[in-house]
Amino acid sequence: MKVTKKLFGADGATLFVIENDHGLILEVTNFGARIVRFLVPTKTGELVNIVLGFDDEESYRQYDTYFGATIGRVAGRLAKGQYQGQAGVQHFDQNEGPNTLHGGANSFEVKRWETEIIEKPSEVTVIFSYRSPDGENGFKGNLKAKVAYTFNNQDEWRLDYEAETDQETLYNPTNHAYFNLSGSLSQPIDAHLLYVAADRYGVIDEESLPTGELRAVTGTAFDFTDESGRFLHDGFSQSDQQIALVSGYDHPFALSAPSIETCQARLTNEASGITLEMRTDSPAVVIYTTNIGEKEFPMFGETVSHHSGITLETQVLPDAINHQGFGTIKLEAGETFKATTVFSIK
Binding site for ligand BGC (CB under 6 A): 66, 76, 208, 250, 286, 288, 313
84 Cβ contact list (under 8 Å, min separation 6): 90
CB closer to ligand BGC out of 18 and 185: 185
Kindly give, in sequence order, each residue whose CB lies less than 8 Å from that of residue 215, ignoring residues fewer than 6 positions away: 200, 201, 202, 203, 222
| Closer CB to ligand BGC, 20 or 341, in the complex | 341
CB of 65 to ligand BGC, least distance (A): 9
CA 174 to chain centre: 5
Closer residue to ligand BGC in complex, CB, 199/250: 250
Q: Pinpoint the alpha helices (H) of the chain.
A: 57-63, 232-236, 241-246
Q: Are 127 and 52 in contact (CB under 8 A)?
A: no
Residue 195 and residue 312 in contact, taking contact as beta carbons nearer than 8 Å: no
Residue 164 φ/ψ, nearest 5 degrees: -140, 150
Contacts of 115 (CB under 8 A, 6+ apart): 14, 16, 30, 126, 127, 128, 129
Closest contact distance (angstroms) between CB of 316 and ligand BGC is 14
Chain position whose Cβ is nearest to ligand BGC: 66
Output the DSSP codes for 217-267: -TTSTT----TT-EEHHHHHTS--HHHHHHTS-EEEEEESS-BSSS--EEE
Looking at the Cβ atoms of 20 and 314, the one nearer to ligand BGC is: 314
Instruction: List the catalytic residue out of 176, 251, 307, 323.
Output: 176
313 is an active site residue:
yes
Minimum separation from the CB atom of position 76 to ligand BGC (A): 6
Closest distance to ligand BGC from the beta carbon of 208 (Å): 5
C-beta separation of 253 from 310 below 8 A = no
Of 181 and 286, which CB lies nearer to ligand BGC in the complex structure? Answer: 286
Residue 307 known to be catalytic: no
CB of 57 to ligand BGC, least distance (A): 17
Catalogue the active-site residues.
Answer: 176, 313
